[in-house]
Structures are given as structure tokens and as C-alpha cells.
Amino acid sequence: MMQDAALDWIERYAQHLRHERRLSTHTLDNYLRDLRHLCEFCDRQGLDDWNALNAPQIRAYVAWRHRSGIGGSSLQRELSAIRSFFNYLLREGVAGHNPAQDIPAPKNPRKLPQTLDVDQAARLMEIPGDDDAAVRDRAIMELMYSSGLRLAELVGLDCADVDMADATVRVTGKGAKTRILPVGRKALAALQVWLQRRHLLPGAAGSAALFLGQRGKRITARTVQNHLRCRALAQGLAMPVHPHMLRHSFASHMLESSGDLRAVQELLGHANIATTQIYTHLDFQHLAKVYDAAHPRAKKK
């Protein structure tokens, strides 16, 4: 069993993540869950101290987690959490090495993100009704598709972040990085209608949030997910639609029209262009379908 002194370093590390690195609660929970899995492995192996872990044992840990059904991307995240934890232990003089430093995770076949085509996106935005929820949901969907927002970025928006005159929105993304994004004509119109309605809602005066839920509080990510799924079904879309699908659709349609990968990277707020390059595969798929349908030597009889 891991010694109490060794386990105490996990709690100290959690305080470091919370107060020094200022990680979100969600990310912090993920890190700590990953370290609990490592503790379970150490107990199985009879290891009682962090310095007892070496590279072959970390490889054995990866194999153990992989056999239990954990995919490559999740294992990459777990290894990242372990590396970060041992870097902290090195800094504090508790560990003499980082056993996870050069350990790779098994690779998953890369899945292409699901997107809506332009017609499906247009149909989704045409939700009926003039009640508060319908007006708000139209503004949410138009803004997400117009500006390629992450769900967390959307629910974190305040009214002051939208500049209607300049047709821009100020977004705080991953790593607390801020970027200014253009807002399209239809999204501006939907936002204008929502803002006229918003200030009449109970609790609106006491909240800075751009989008409010039923009780006048900032809308939650879960509410946006649920409403989007229901709206998509009501509009007759065959596939389940989630908020990130609007971001994927924005990126795919932008790249398809402009071919400017760097611009799409900036708009999405990706630190690494390799993350954005997955949309080039989507663009090629689209071109391949056009080719198959149009080229006389490719047409199916």
C-alpha cells in the first residue's frame, strides 16, 4: 500500500494545480482521477513510494489500463497527468526522476469529427417559436456556428463581451487566452432579438451573463446540450447534434470556402496547427464526394 506520506503529496499537488496553475475544476478532477488510477496500480504492485516507480512499471501501467478498455487518447491524458505530477515532485525534491517522461501511449485511429452540411446547419437555425427559450436558443446556435465557439466559451460569455457595433465577440478560451472573433450577420440579428428580450427576464438585472436559464442564472453547459439535441430532433435532423458539432461545422465550412488553414487556426484558438489540420481531411472528403458525383470516369453507373 502507498504510504500516507506519499498520498499526501497528491493533495499538495492538487493545491498547486488549484492555486498556482489555476486549473478549472473539471481539469483538476481529471488529473486527480488519473492519479487515483496510478495509486491503485501501485497498490497492486506492492509499491509504497513514488521513487519506487520506474519506466518499465509505467509501461506496465499503460498496458494494464489499455487492457481494461482505456483508449489511446485517454491514456495520453493520463500519462500527461503523471508526467506533470512527477515534474512537481522533482521540483519539490521528493522524486529523483520522472518515470513517465518518454513513455508513449498506444495510438487510436484518428476519428474525423462529425459535421453538419450547410443545408443541415441552416435547417437547425430555423427553429420555430417566439418564446424566450426559442429566441435564446436561436441566438446561441447562430453565435456558436458563426464564430466557432467552444461550449465553455459560450456559457462563460458576459453581455459586455459582445460588441454589436463592431460585430465582434471577446472570448476567453483554454489557458485563459482571449481572442476577438467576428460575428456574422444572422448571428448579430439573433443576438439583437435576444438582448431585447433578455433584460425583461427575472434576475437579468443582477447578472452579467449573456445567456440566462429559466431562473435568471447563467445558463449551464448541460442546458445548452439538452436544448440543442431536442431542437435538432424537432427540426428533423437524423444524427444526434451536440454543441461541438457546430464548432466542427464552422471550421469545416470555413476551410472549404477559404482554404486558409492558418486563419481557421486563429479563429478556433488552437495553439498547434496540427489540431486544425484534421479539418483538411474533412475538406478532402467533401472534394472526393464532389469528384465521385461529377467526373465522367468516376460516376457510378
Annotated catalytic residues are 150, 174, 244, 247, 270, 279
Are the C-beta atoms of 79 and 30 separated by less than 8 Å? Answer: no
The residue behind cell 513510494 is 49
Are the C-beta atoms of 204 and 158 separated by less than 8 Å? Answer: no
Quickly count: other Cβ atoms within 10 Å of residue 173's Cβ.
18
Closest CA to 221 of 229, 161, 129, 16: 229
Helix (H) or strand (E) holding 58: helix 55-67
- Exposed/middle/buried for residue 161 (C-beta within 10 Å: 0-12, 13-18, 19+): middle
Strand order in the sheet with 162-163: 162-163, 168-172, 178-182
